[in-house]
Amino acid sequence: MKNIVFLGAPGSGKGTQSGLIIRDYGIVQISTGDILRGAVKEGSELGLLAEKYMNDGKLVPDSVIIGIMRDRLAQPDCIKGFILDGFPRTVAQAEALDQMLRSELGTELTHVISLEVPDELIFDRITERRSCPKCGHVYNLRFNPPRKADVCDDDGAELIQRSDDTRETLGNRLKTYHESTALLKVLYAKRNKLKVVDGTRMPAEIYEVIKGFLE
Ligand code: AMP
């Protein structure tokens, strides 16, 4: 059983690594950011509430996020294991997660992986990040560009930039990330669950290191 928490700043490569883990271990990835963006797109009550926090690069309140995750983790596809991407982001969320796993699902976290990349590199990666609104394929204009400018290789849809992937919002997101994650790292290190991985290496090399932890 692999119940993984993935820590890492926006643009640290969590999405790429999660894709490889899903492929090899047959577990699901749950991204609170994706769930919230879906709600914003739908224009649901949750989306309307979340949007203003997201556009400022601030955290959505714990009670809202914990409620979303309680529902999501109760879905049957989580039984085989999961990767949590973007959750927990605060100590209160981490504690609620522990409690949910223990009392509602009879399980616990098995691995916490922190993928670390210096902020200067993150700025380059994120401001050049584009994604396909149709299939979710993520590109980087400099490091991993689409074959034809601004168009998805897989389905030809026009690529978009996430509205919070701008320099201004990113500064806030990174500040918030470092403040909250520092506390989470202490918490998980105390429990002997934390593994720190150098996220500046090539994706395949990083994945070898991660697989070493998971085996
Ligand atoms: P991400 O895609 O993980 O970078 O998340 C995008 C935005 O969604 C964040 O900047 C927050 O505003 C919000 N968000 C995502 N996950 C959480 C969480 N666990 N707690 C609070 N806010 C969150």
Return d(Cα 6, Cα 29) in angstroms, integer.
10
pLDDT of residue 101: 95
The yes-or-no answer on residue 162 being catalytic is yes
Q: Is 142 a residue whose pLDDT tops 90?
A: no
Mutation choice for ligand 1 from 5, 18, 32, CB with most ligand atoms inside 8 A: 32
Question: What is the value of pTM for the model shown?
Answer: 0.86
The yes-or-no answer on residue 142 being catalytic is no
Q: Whose CA is nearest to atom 11 of ligand 1?
A: 59
The yes-or-no answer on residue 58 being catalytic is no
pLDDT, the chain, mean: 93
Confidence category of residue 16, pLDDT binned at 50, 70, 90: confident
pLDDT of residue 212: 96
Q: How many CB atoms lie within 10 A of CB 55?
A: 14
Q: How many helices (H) and strands (E) does the chain have?
A: 8, 7
Tokens representing residue 162 in the block: 């996430």
Domains of the chain: 2-118+171-214 (3.40.50.300)
Q: Is 165 a residue whose pLDDT tops 90?
A: no
Return d(Cα 159, Cα 174) in angstroms, integer.
24
Mutation choice for ligand 1 from 6, 14, 36, 64, CB with most ligand atoms inside 8 A: 36
71 burial level (CB within 10 Å; 0-12, 13-18, 19+) = exposed
Q: Is 1 a residue whose pLDDT tops 90?
A: no
Confidence category of residue 132, pLDDT binned at 50, 70, 90: very high
